[in-house]
């Protein structure tokens, strides 16, 4: 079963810095402050929360990025992302402006993998995220629901009957039903591609962009082999691998 939706990806790629932080900062209002009416900048009264839009132009653009939050899951960690944002200069403390500082792993939340992520020669040759093609990263995408009783194998891929010509597919899985992106403890049992599913996709479809609803497009048990199939197909297909585009809401 699949649902066609047109999605323009806005991909925010964060980079970590080498700075270290000891100061936690709670000066930020909680993004999850509940029960307040939304407002625009023109009518800030202090008792309202800003408007945050996810859908634009009747669905032509959908922001599928997750909000960074200290309690969001982080690869292999039990306690989530933790404090990643601080306000070293703040107007409330006499600075001319508010200046934020972020430090977080580049695989946090909604992110894209660079081809060099699991193939060292690509890394050495300089294939970073800057080498990805924006034509592939942006444009209409198909949202596909996969069977909930399996990881994404060749058999599952075949059963989805994704039409030829479709270039971008977001796979919605059991991960969304289990709300894994809302649990701070990392869960290795998430659903992802197995190697034969990736190989089938490479051999039988025109898909150049793959998105999934947890921290890795590859199932935990088959992580490196699956990634390598996707990364290598970037070269043989002159395409690229994208992963980890999550839906913010169910």
- Per CB under 6 A, residues contacting ligand NAG are 27, 87, 90-93, 98, 149-151, 174, 189, 191, 219-221
- Minimal distance, residue 248 CB to ligand NAG, in Å: 22
Closest CA to 240 of 111, 124, 127: 127
- Minimal distance, residue 62 CB to ligand NAG, in Å: 26
- Minimal distance, residue 167 CB to ligand NAG, in Å: 26
How far, in Å, CA of 22 to CA of 129, rounded? 29
Closest CA to 27 of 108, 95, 110: 95
The answer to whether the CB of 196 falls within 8 A of the CB of 216 is: no
Strand 55-56 and strand 49-50: pairing?
unpaired
Neighbours of 98 (CB within 10 A): 14
How far, in Å, CA of 50 to CA of 35, rounded? 12
Closest CA to 187 of 94, 49, 78, 112: 78
- Minimal distance, residue 59 CB to ligand NAG, in Å: 29
> Of 23 and 238, which CB lies nearer to ligand NAG in the complex structure?
23
- Minimal distance, residue 67 CB to ligand NAG, in Å: 16
> Of 116 and 192, which CB lies nearer to ligand NAG in the complex structure?
192
> Of 24 and 235, which CB lies nearer to ligand NAG in the complex structure?
24
- Minimal distance, residue 196 CB to ligand NAG, in Å: 13
Closest CA to 225 of 119, 84, 128, 111: 119
Neighbours of 113 (CB within 10 A): 22
């Amino acid at each position: 079963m699949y649902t066609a939706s047109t999605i323009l990806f806005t991909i925010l790629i964060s980079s970590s810095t080498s700075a270290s932080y000891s100061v936690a900062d709670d000066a930020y209002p909680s993004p999850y402050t509940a029960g307040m009416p939304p407002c625009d900048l023109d009518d800030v009264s202090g008792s309202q929360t800003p408007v945050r839009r996810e859908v634009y132009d009747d669905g032509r653009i959908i922001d599928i990025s997750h909000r960074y939050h200290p309690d969001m899951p982080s690869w292999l960690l039990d306690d989530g992302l933790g404090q990643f944002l601080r306000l070293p200069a703040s107007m409330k403390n006499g600075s001319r402006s508010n200046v934020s500082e972020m430090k977080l792993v580049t695989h946090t939340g909604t992110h894209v993998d660079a081809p060099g992520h699991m193939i060292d020669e690509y890394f050495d040759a300089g294939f970073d995220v800057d080498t990805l093609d924006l034509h592939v990263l942006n444009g209409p995408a198909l949202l596909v629901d996969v069977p909930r009783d399996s990881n994404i194998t060749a058999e599952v891929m075949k059963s989805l009957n994704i039409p030829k010509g479709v270039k971008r597919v977001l796979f919605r899985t059991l991960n969304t039903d289990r709300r894994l992106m809302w649990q701070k403890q990392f869960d290795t049992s998430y659903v992802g591609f197995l190697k034969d599913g990736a190989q089938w996709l490479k051999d039988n479809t025109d898909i150049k962009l793959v998105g999934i609803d947890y921290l890795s497009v590859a199932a935990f048990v088959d992580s490196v082999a699956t990634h390598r199939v996707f990364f290598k197909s970037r070269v043989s297909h002159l395409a690229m691998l994208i992963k980890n585009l999550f839906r913010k809401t169910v």
